[in-house]
Structure 1
């Protein structure tokens, strides 16, 4: 069993590892972190907290009971890093050592209650080396049956609202519009933010608005495929119009299309409105590349480019350009928009004069009759989570004298054990 301060290059039995580049980890401020590449890092790179930036922290959530943080240590790194769990400062730990060494088990927390936990890791003491790093964060380990979550991530469509994100899987062959699956599930590693010609991984849909039909509008947080032509997407029904109907969840109606990128240089379009200008109800910094990953590759849009009706608008950062719809180039990618309408109602449980919902645990949401929005945002969408399963319970029996024989008895608590179908005595 590894101890804090020892090198730990792979997760031990009962644990699983996530790299620092995992899309569920959020780094702030965006200019306070830099990727550090080195063969000795886990998977060859880590995230360095820059000393010339203040308030540096990384945040994530996870479902499980235990956590380990893997960092690089150095004699120039900070000796005080603060960890906050579920909005409570738990303790401090250090990344300072006498030598430069990597993949060190720097922090461990076990014995948490099973469920979703919110984590913040923040530099407290800035080291004197103002041109270097506070520390390098390399990886984290959690329960082998746990799940890493972005702080704004939801796993159920019933929890969607502006600023929330939901995971989805995408798999495709070169220049073919692929298949979407696993909405709300962790299926595999994330598709690289630099995309792929043959992707097979997860990404996030981020909820940005509702359209004129009342459908949730979600935009992919990255280009999920490059070297795919607009014509290919159009043939699949994705490029324009009302979108391609797809089945991603039995309880909602969904369609996929491209983002509206503007006709020429106009600003009245989805790219400028959501990618560049919206803070999504104060949940993000508007135009944050760490959220949208839009600075290194153009995205196909559904729009034609001004008078060049034979060309299609492509967008990168705050720039507009155009490309031949037949083109299959590495610098232009597919960033889908998902339109979603939920076709069922939610449920809230009234118990002990309180209105409650269930999300890994019972939570009180109101003491008065909830509003429609509360039902929609916080209600239970899947009552199967409350299904009771058959259970066999063994109760010890005590004996007492009764003439020449003995009387055996046991007390059954009907508040705990209900719907009893059979009692066997042995």
Structure 2
């Protein structure tokens, strides 16, 4: 650590330096001169210094932080008395001595966190000089600047957010770019620009002032507004209009900016600057999928090669936002916005922009264009890198073929052209490619795009760089150069370091033994099941019953910019074309050939997130809550258990730990802790087919254990014809209630008789005398008739909901769970009810083998 009197040419770790000509320094007095390399200041920091020999001259500034250092030239013609007034307290130091540039002359390292005022002035040292070369403060602090300073780029230690980035919320109407100057609106009613910020001590509001610009007011966390001038500042872009440097980095602030009424005709923001350590969030943003609800959003990062489907991560700010006019390759962030839930309880999220310019065929090949979508088994953890370090991780290799074209980080730059390769060696020379994360992460799979694929290797993990656990062993006896392979394994631990340790290499060109990769990516498994698909778009311009017309209603939110988005809907007039929405207008409907990418064919993904269904288990060993991992028993916390303990550390299967219960400390007082699952209903969807179809339940729903049937309710969609008949004698006779209240027999094997006599959904749901109708046998089964009136109809039966009172009091199988179930295939579900309430039974589609009559299993209650 540097001491006073020592030369300090660069700031030490934990500090940052401001040169003497920063506009935040206010020089007062007649004697100040700027020294440069042309007049003798060649050895000063950045070859500049300010100096004066006039008693009373001073330089003043404000800064945020906890420590301060003054850097100046020491010389024989310098004053022995330099006064420094810090927060009203006067200290003195001397600049006099043998010549030494960039000398540490004063420091104070025990200041309270906050904003501090500093004044350095020429004291009583006669006509000798005082000077200022630089100021060092905390690396998280900042020097306060006066309004009217133009900042064409963010200062050192700062980063910039453009106002249309996506992380800002703009209330009101008319928001648009003003000829490239700023982003704003001329409609002041309801106009507000808001955002959340955290982990920063400072924030700056930049505007483009002009005589017609409105003055602005700002407030923090709902406090009093502070007004600041905007139209009287110099007219130029990136002008500092407001700055605050006393924020608590451990607190999150809601910042709201509004126009001052009557002060101008345009309310605009040019940029927001914060410290590089900080992050701006949209006011509706969450970082965990479990916190999502309709209207909330979560940040994603998307990486993709040219003209190929890519990979996603969730919850973190990884890079800048993707352009709203997409390109063929992708490297950037966006938001998934939750808009609804499916009938199964899945959360539906839609990307706030097109992520990539991509053909429908490419999406279909990846599996995204299918109705159910592509299951997401892994979320990427390494951003696109342009050097050895990123905010997320650092990478290294034991050797590099060269440090110009084949650096280790070239394996992580998301390019299918550049690559890392090792130096040539023997077949068994060990080679290591290492990834070190800033925060530990749980990796469950990795993907390698080989330039020179290894023959044998180990994928290993560590938290100290000394002890390494082998998570996967690779063995490829056949050369696999120019090939992409993905490897998965079980891992329930987080690690800060991972490495690919090559044990044996394939020979290349009969002589050389290289190892090299175009790309390497490590994945973590999502906590909940996810799938990626496309929106539905309607079969015609007049068909509004589709996801695009339902959800994509505001161009300000969805960043459509008249660039079309692929949907999963087929154009009825051309089976080789798919519907495109939003091209040349948010509500515009058109279609296009599936193999094309231009003009305006974008990939706007839909993310489905299934609810958590599975019970998770922990073990209570005395007062310690424990889980079992591949490394043995792990204490996750003290009792009582929390939701986060179950979610992050809960076991899905008790059988893995059962043999090791004897190893616990308090064997006589072991308890199994079970998380209570959310009671989300899962229902089957039977979609109609172009010819009439009859579906019969081939077993009964038994109500022997119920004292009363309160109601039976069918839910479904009837665009076409949907009819239902019932049987109370195990399928021997089928009946339907008529409009006059009588019951008539229905021949369910005769489609014409079934269609003519059976009940609609509304008829079935209106029946109230179920207890009398099913009699003592207490059995019921249903048969259904489906018919599409046109090829565009969807006729579906979602579920049969039963509200019943139970005869007996049942013991719960698992504490906190009101039901248990078992199944041996999707169409055979057996359910035991353990308490009164509402329950659903699935109606499965079964298999027809070309027949128009299908039998499916019902349920046993």
Picking from 320, 324, 329, the partner of 2:598 is 329
Measured in 2, the distance between the counterparts of 1:302 and 1:147 equals: 36
Kindly state the Cα deviation for residue 210 of structure 1 after the two structures are TM-superposed: 1.1
**Local SS of the residue matching 1:74:** coil
Measured in 2, the distance between the counterparts of 1:27 and 1:341 equals: 31
**Local SS of the residue matching 1:252:** coil
**Local SS of the residue matching 2:178:** strand
Picking from 156, 169, 173, the partner of 1:30 is 173
Measured in 1, the distance between the counterparts of 2:588 and 2:262 equals: 37
Kindly state the Cα deviation for residue 198 of structure 1 after the two structures are TM-superposed: 1.2
Counterpart contact for 1:81–1:92, Cα < 8 Å? yes
**Local SS of the residue matching 1:163:** coil
Counterpart contact for 2:303–2:330, Cα < 8 Å? yes
Aligned to 2:158: 15
Per-residue CA shift, 1:364-421, capped at 9, x if unaligned? xxxxxxxxxxx9xxx6589889xxxxxxxxxxxxxxxxxxxxxxxxxxxxxxxxxxxx
Picking from 340, 347, 356, the partner of 1:209 is 340
Aligned to 1:74: 210
Q: Which has the larger radius of gyration?
A: 2
- Structure 2 residue 364 is the aligned partner of structure 1 residue 234: yes
Measured in 2, the distance between the counterparts of 1:153 and 1:2 equals: 30
Measured in 2, the distance between the counterparts of 1:172 and 1:309 equals: 28
Kindly state the Cα deviation for residue 125 of structure 1 after the two structures are TM-superposed: 3.0
Aligned to 2:475: none
1:14/1:273 CA distance change after superposition, 3 Å? same
Aligned to 2:145: 3
Picking from 294, 299, 319, the partner of 1:188 is 319
Kindly state the Cα deviation for residue 327 of structure 1 after the two structures are TM-superposed: 1.4
Kindly state the Cα deviation for residue 244 of structure 1 after the two structures are TM-superposed: 0.6
Measured in 2, the distance between the counterparts of 1:90 and 1:15 equals: 25
Picking from 320, 324, 336, the partner of 2:589 is 320
- Structure 2 residue 448 is the aligned partner of structure 1 residue 306: no
- Structure 2 residue 313 is the aligned partner of structure 1 residue 172: no
Picking from 220, 223, 246, the partner of 1:85 is 220
Aligned to 1:158: 290
Measured in 2, the distance between the counterparts of 1:10 and 1:119 equals: 22
Picking from 528, 533, 542, the partner of 1:257 is 533
1:382/1:152 CA distance change after superposition, 3 Å? farther
May I ask how many residue pairs the two structures share in their alignment?
Answer: 328
**Local SS of the residue matching 1:232:** helix
Q: Which moved more, 1:11-20 or 1:62-71?
A: 11-20
Measured in 1, the distance between the counterparts of 2:220 and 2:335 equals: 24
Return the TM-score normalized by structure 2: 0.36
Measured in 2, the distance between the counterparts of 1:332 and 1:30 equals: 28
Counterpart contact for 1:75–1:99, Cα < 8 Å? no
Kindly state the Cα deviation for residue 98 of structure 1 after the two structures are TM-superposed: 6.0
- Structure 2 residue 193 is the aligned partner of structure 1 residue 97: no
Aligned to 1:243: 373
1:271/1:381 CA distance change after superposition, 3 Å? farther
Measured in 1, the distance between the counterparts of 2:615 and 2:155 equals: 43
**Local SS of the residue matching 1:189:** coil
Measured in 2, the distance between the counterparts of 1:345 and 1:108 equals: 50
Measured in 2, the distance between the counterparts of 1:14 and 1:194 equals: 30
1:78-157 matched pairs, under 5 angstroms: 78=214, 80-97=215-232, 99-113=234-248, 114-127=250-263, 130=265, 133-134=266-267, 136-157=268-289
Per-residue CA shift, 1:344-381, capped at 9, x if unaligned? 789xxxxxxxxxxxxxxxxxxxxxxxxxxxx9xxx658
Kindly state the Cα deviation for residue 153 of structure 1 after the two structures are TM-superposed: 0.8
**Local SS of the residue matching 1:231:** helix
1:199/1:9 CA distance change after superposition, 3 Å? same
1:319-358 matched pairs, under 5 angstroms: 319-343=588-612
**Local SS of the residue matching 2:551:** helix
Structure 2 unaligned regions, length at least 5 = 1-142, 380-524, 617-641, 650-861
CA RMSD of aligned residues (A): 2.4
1:9/1:98 CA distance change after superposition, 3 Å? closer
Structure 1 unaligned regions, length at least 5 = 38-44, 276-286, 347-374, 386-426
Measured in 2, the distance between the counterparts of 1:152 and 1:270 equals: 22
Counterpart contact for 2:174–2:185, Cα < 8 Å? no
Counterpart contact for 2:324–2:560, Cα < 8 Å? no
Measured in 2, the distance between the counterparts of 1:271 and 1:102 equals: 37
Aligned to 1:407: none
Return the TM-score normalized by structure 1: 0.71
Q: Which moved more, 1:119-128 or 1:159-168?
A: 119-128
**Local SS of the residue matching 1:234:** helix
Counterpart contact for 1:55–1:123, Cα < 8 Å? no
Per-residue CA shift, 1:153-180, capped at 9, x if unaligned? 1111121000001011112222211111
Kindly state the Cα deviation for residue 232 of structure 1 after the two structures are TM-superposed: 1.0
Aligned to 1:224: 355
1:345/1:61 CA distance change after superposition, 3 Å? farther
- Structure 2 residue 196 is the aligned partner of structure 1 residue 54: no
Kindly state the Cα deviation for residue 184 of structure 1 after the two structures are TM-superposed: 0.5
Counterpart contact for 1:194–1:296, Cα < 8 Å? no
Counterpart contact for 2:207–2:239, Cα < 8 Å? yes
1:345/1:112 CA distance change after superposition, 3 Å? farther
**Local SS of the residue matching 2:364:** helix
**Local SS of the residue matching 2:548:** helix
Per-residue CA shift, 1:9-36, capped at 9, x if unaligned? 3323332221222110122323144333
Per-residue CA shift, 1:199-253, capped at 9, x if unaligned? 1101111101111221111011111111x11111101100022111112353111
Kindly state the Cα deviation for residue 294 of structure 1 after the two structures are TM-superposed: 2.4
Measured in 1, the distance between the counterparts of 2:292 and 2:603 equals: 23
Counterpart contact for 1:153–1:166, Cα < 8 Å? yes
**Local SS of the residue matching 1:76:** coil
Counterpart contact for 2:345–2:611, Cα < 8 Å? no
1:319/1:345 CA distance change after superposition, 3 Å? farther
